[in-house]
Structure 1
Amino acid sequence: MMSSELFIELRFPGGRYHTTPWDRQVNEGAVEWPPSPWRILRALIGVWHAKESENVSEAVVKTLVARLSELAPSWHLPKAVQAHTRHYMPTRDTTTKIFDNFLVIDRDTPAIAHWPGLVLEAELSTALDRLLAAFNYLGRSESWADLRRIEPPSDFLPNAGPTERIAPAQGQENVRQLMPLNAQRLVDWREGYREAMISRTLSAAQRKALKSGKDPDKIKLSKSDLENIEKSLPATPYDVLTCETDALQKAGWSQPPGTHWVDYLAPPIVAWLAPKSPARPNTSLATVARFAVASQVPPRLTTTIHQTHKLHQSLVKFSNNHALFTGFDANGARQQGHQHAYLFAEANDGRTDRITHLNVWIPGGITDDIQREALDRVQHLWGKDGHDLQLVLLGVGTPQDFAGHNTRAGQCPLMEESTTWRSLTPFVSTRHPKQRKNGEFKRDEQGLIIDGPERDLMRLLNEQGLPEIVAIEAFDQAEIAGRKLRWLEFDTQRTKGGGARGPSHGTGFQITFAEKVRGPIAAGYAAHFGMGLFTPIDPFANRSTP
């Protein structure tokens, strides 16, 4: 009986490994490598349910996965070459192209995982041996797999693992690995997330009350609401790993509750064909298409996310899934650098908060083909209760071509230059604020909550290459045409699609940069669909006196 640190050997007898990371779509062309702790531990539980439940008790399995969740493994990985096949899957009316992405791995060369410092008790080791021997595949069923526990190899040298454990080497790539929180961190996470869910549920109830004319400040959560929140949050690593994917997606989780991402360094996956160098954005191309909106009952600005979603659907359809509208290239890989389309709305008639314009901003540039095949063809969007939207393409150009504060002349303030900007639509954070065990928020040296909305906004704008933010201040409502709109009145949840999202419904900010910035400026969850949009508040900063 082995009593040393845990090592597991993994071989692929078929020479192929098919699997898609948690946060990626199957047609993106991504393959999870190395196998994540999340996948391995879920597979252990699945094998136990299917084959070994009579031989291994549930209590032992729960203890085993809790021990394996204590730390992420290091790996020695063999060379992996990425390839794919393409299939056309029939549907009712047409066929859909499907990419089957996989890694080609030498069937005689194992991948070896090591959990440093983890020595399992005899009972747990015996249970693990039974479960590993029962494996037929890992990932998709085509990924035949043999797994077994082994003695520590004398020549073991990890070439992949958590960044704090692996020395950087030339050519290594950064990858993310999903795994459950260990038991202690799960307790802290559960308490903090419980408070966040209570806040989010209460905000939704208050927003509903506000729309029906009731006082939102009198709304309280019921006992059953609180009980449902308690039941939705896993209490042990086993509970985390046994959540059903369909239930998670239906509940709106962007990742399994009680999990976290671990940053790994790993050898690069070899491409079957050498990748082409990414093209630089063509700054000589137009980047903005501006539409006027006409309707018997124009939609309110608070419904922006729904109007931009409909516009996005039309553009994707007419452009035949062009990468500048989908955000994915021809091989299904996610584009980097946010060069694809941002869609946003304006309410410029000066009397109401009804939408008057829709804009398409494509930092990567608008080619003649995109204009001819997509932008010129979008003339109609379906509307609520039969009040469809008619779109008139006013022009295609650069932000400078449309910039200005004379909205009666059709100019767009959102494309002006300014140092100080103010939220027009709510900024929805992409991260969850960090909390201590006593419920207090953790703060940085500036007094800002770590991963709170202010800090997240500053991070995202910095990643866009914008100048330093010298002042930031939150405020609780927007003012449009003399009407005050609370952020709760805005719909901020996409009906389809993903994107990282924090617990807040949305917040407004006034930000001041160290120097002037040209709009549009948008950041946060659903920024490509009109959320997190800013408007300048110093309209005369760039004008001379007539």
Structure 2
Amino acid sequence: MPTLKLRFPGGRYHATPWGHHVNEGLVEWPPSPWRLLRALVSCGFTSQGWNDVPTLASSLIEKLASVLPSYRLPEITAAHTRHYMPYIEGAKEKTTLVWDTFANIGDGEILVHWPCEINSDETVLFGNLARNLNYLGRSESWVEAELVPDASLSTNSFNAVPHCENERRDQRYEQISLMAAIPGEDYRTWRLEQMDIVLEPFKGKKETAKLKKDRDKAEKPYPLDLIACLTKDTSWWKGHRWSQPPGSQRVLYWRPSHSIEVTAPQMSQPKEIPSVEMMLLALTTPSGNKSALPSVTRTLPQAELFHRAIVGRAGNGQSVHCPELTGKDANSKALRDGHQHAHILPLDLDNDQHIDHILIYAGMGLGETAQRAISTLRRTWTKGGVGDIQLAVAGKGRLDDLRRLPDRIGTTIDSLMGADIGAHTWISLTPFVPPRFIKKSGKRNDLFSQVNAELSSRGLPNAAVSIIPWHSENAHRLRHCIRVRKRGAPPPQDVGYLLRLTFEETVHGPISLGYASHFGLGLFIAESGDP
């Protein structure tokens, strides 16, 4: 005697009882015998390569249809969601409110037991159909099914059973109506009776093409057998004026009165989002045209624009307290954190001279507020751009996680980070703008001293500093980089340098120094071939 075990990976079972509208908010519980048989037949067509139902499958289905199954049901709660479904009326698109009611099953399991004997070939087929069953009810009602061996089963715990004649039960049970199949032999007998009535007007008449056509039309609403009934869809039997599928019948079942509970909605506790060291965003245009992305010369204004947008999102119309983004404490005073708050670094990872990614990293970590602000920002702009620039999170985590990027974009990241063991020599990727006036006299204010002071403030050792001439290879593209912030304080001098830093010991990146170093200026990469 076959028993089917059903588990719902999504924790939900979606199905509306026969004869009810979806917006009545009812759940068919348990799944009706008719629904189960139709699901098995459908699965045969989709997974077993049937063009027609084979003889073995017909025998299996008719045996299952000849009896009413019993169920072992878990306790569930009924719930629903509401949404507006679009539909077309004439030339206009309108919406209508739809209730999606479902049984919240969680990790509960349903057992369905048919009290009939099936042979070994039918058992194998039943097992194959069960393993390939993907959903039961509506398509979002995912299911995993398997055939349970008889030896491992006790039917005493089954709590939803067919009603028997003159049966009475106490208040612990309630009676419900389910749709089931008429036994195959009963259907054939009934159909023959109907055919005698339907075809009576055609008897004794001369056979003509019109007579044959009218007779076929009269026979069409009566499928040949039960298997044919199970394959007819709703539009077919409604089109032939059936009030329910041919070959089906209403049957009464007893189920526990508490089998469906309705509880007050519970507010889920938001999960704490762990801090991350960096987030990487990808930039693209709606058309996919990379040449429409901002030029690398606009590194500073793009970083400023992005920073203003995420700080606004972090505040959400209120005062902002997100020190890793603002660089300020609760009293709006600048952090003395050794530049541990966020650096916003626009990057050109595919080396086409257009900004295609933005790296946001903070030594102090990006908290929940910062992450939400960054991940929910969907677009930015650029001066002279045709339209929006779309943003999407490409990754987040530790800085070292960036090393796992694909080779086609990971090369620039590797040079930005340095090798696994670090690098001795670093060269400018964007111009270094001194944070103070350059003076010929004074040990603290010459160019080299300012660079080493910036390194020291970030916990890095001193380096030997040399200037790279502007006429050197690849330096000409940096000549036109914007070096003055639009909204922040201007630099003491609007002058940029390309530098080479040589350390006695290896150091790791990213290294970003000088004026507007938190907005992409003064960024260095490891020199090719180092170490």
- Common fold: TM-score over 0.5: no
TM-score range for the pair, normalised by the shorter chain length = 0.3 to 0.5
TM-score (norm 2): 0.44
Larger Rg: 2
